[in-house]
Amino acid sequence: MGRVHHAWLFAGPDGVGKETTARAFAQSLLCETPLEGEACGGCLACQKVERGAHPDLLVVLPEARAVDRGLLSREELGRTPSRDLRIEQVRDLEGMLALAPVEAKCRVVLLVGADSMNVPAQNAFLKTLEEPPVGTHLVLLAETADALLPTIRSRCVRVPFAPLPLDLVAERVAEARGVPEQQARLLAALAGGSLGRAMELTTEALEDRARILEELEQLDASDFRPLLALAERIAAGGRDGAEILLDAIALFYRDVAILAEGGSEEMVANRDLLPLLQRAARRGCPAALFRYREAARAREAIERHAVPRLAVERFLIRCVLEEVAP
């Protein structure tokens, strides 16, 4: 019983409302007086969900994110907080689910950053996913569903979360800045769908990003000097500058992955760099997703106050070493 639709996979980039939606979904399941499947918003259970204090809503998230949200202190942890969901957390969850719900009839688990679980952790989680205790609803939140094992993906109902409405942002950018539609789309994509940031990106910044991507594509493990020089350039604009460029690099490799998987040219944002995209796509989709993920990680590290230049160097080294790895 309860095997149908007990597990959900909300997949899409950060900042497009995956967790907000998941919490609303949890509220509708835990609400004491739901109306046509919607949470009432007023009962004690609803209020507790809103305050993040409902004992039957379990939110499992990587330690680093818990630290960011002030739910965990570094001192308490006594070591560097992990950016990934750890196998120990998966096992703790299994233990908690073995007990009956505390207040509600069911229990909801949000697995934030589910795609950060390594393979052993995913395999451990698979046990819970295959035979969840009755009344357990699991919601996996992932940026890249592809990082999850097929056995996990196939057991979840997948809900794709689209990025922010880029078309709308692009339209406004084209109007306000008087740039061609294609460039407006690129600006909107580079700004992650933020109109404010899309308005601020300059043409020089676009050209600079193109040169940096070209150099990045030429790096190899035989000589580290160009790599170090490139790291210096990417980090030259400080924390903000490095973050914007790493976003641009991530977007580029997302496009590469799309092309490598046989997607059409209309689907990519970096249409001004098609030859470069196509060349990069020859290395295949996994290589592109690896770089995509590493760029996103470097950006996250900088957000968490890593030294930009070191974070970028680490990213570039991973890129070139991945090339020589078997």
Give the residues lining the site for Zn ion (CB under 5 A): 31, 39-40, 43, 46
Q: What are phi and psi of 83, to 5 degrees?
A: -85, -15
40/306 with CB nearer Zn ion: 40
Q: Minimum CB separation from Zn ion for residue 20, in Å?
A: 17
Q: Minimum distance from CB of 48 to Zn ion (Å)?
A: 10
* Minimal distance, residue 47 CB to Zn ion, in Å: 8
Q: Is 40 or 67 the residue whose CB approaches Zn ion more closely?
A: 40
How far is 312 from 297, CA to CA, in rounded Å?
A: 10
Both structure tokens of 127 = 């046990």
> What beta strand segments (E) does the chain contain?
7-11, 57-60, 107-112, 136-142, 157-160
- CB-wise, 26 or 201, nearer to Zn ion? 26
Nearer to Zn ion, 35 or 236 (CB): 35
Give 21 or 123: the residue with its C-beta nearer to Zn ion: 21
Q: Are 8 and 159 in contact (CB under 8 A)?
A: yes
- In whole angstroms, the minimum distance from the beta carbon of 43 to Zn ion comes to 3
* Contact residues for 34 (Cβ-Cβ < 8 A; gap 6+): 28, 40
Measured from the CB atom, the residue of 29 and 287 that comes closer to Zn ion is: 29
Minimum distance from residue 121 beta carbon to Zn ion (Å): 34
Give least dist CB 131 to Zn ion, A. 29
Count Cβ atoms within 10 A of the Cβ of residue 21 and give its class: 0-12 exposed, 13-18 middle, 19 or more buried.
middle
Least Å distance, CB 32 to Zn ion, is: 5
CA distances from 199 to 14, 118, 186, 243, 246 (A): 21, 38, 12, 17, 18
The C-alpha angle with vertex 26 and arms to 133 and 62, in degrees rounded to 5, equals 80
Report the alpha-carbon distance of residue 75 to residue 92 in Å, rounded.
Answer: 21
By beta-carbon proximity to Zn ion, the closer residue of 35 and 307 is 35
Rounded least distance, CB 298 to Zn ion, Å: 42
CA nearest 47: which of 31, 29, 36?
A: 31
φ, ψ of residue 112 in degrees (nearest 5) = -80, 130
Q: Is 227 within 8 Å of 314 (Cβ atoms)?
A: no
Comparison of 35 and 168: residue with beta carbon closer to Zn ion: 35
Closest by CA position to 244, among listed 294, 213, 203, 205: 205
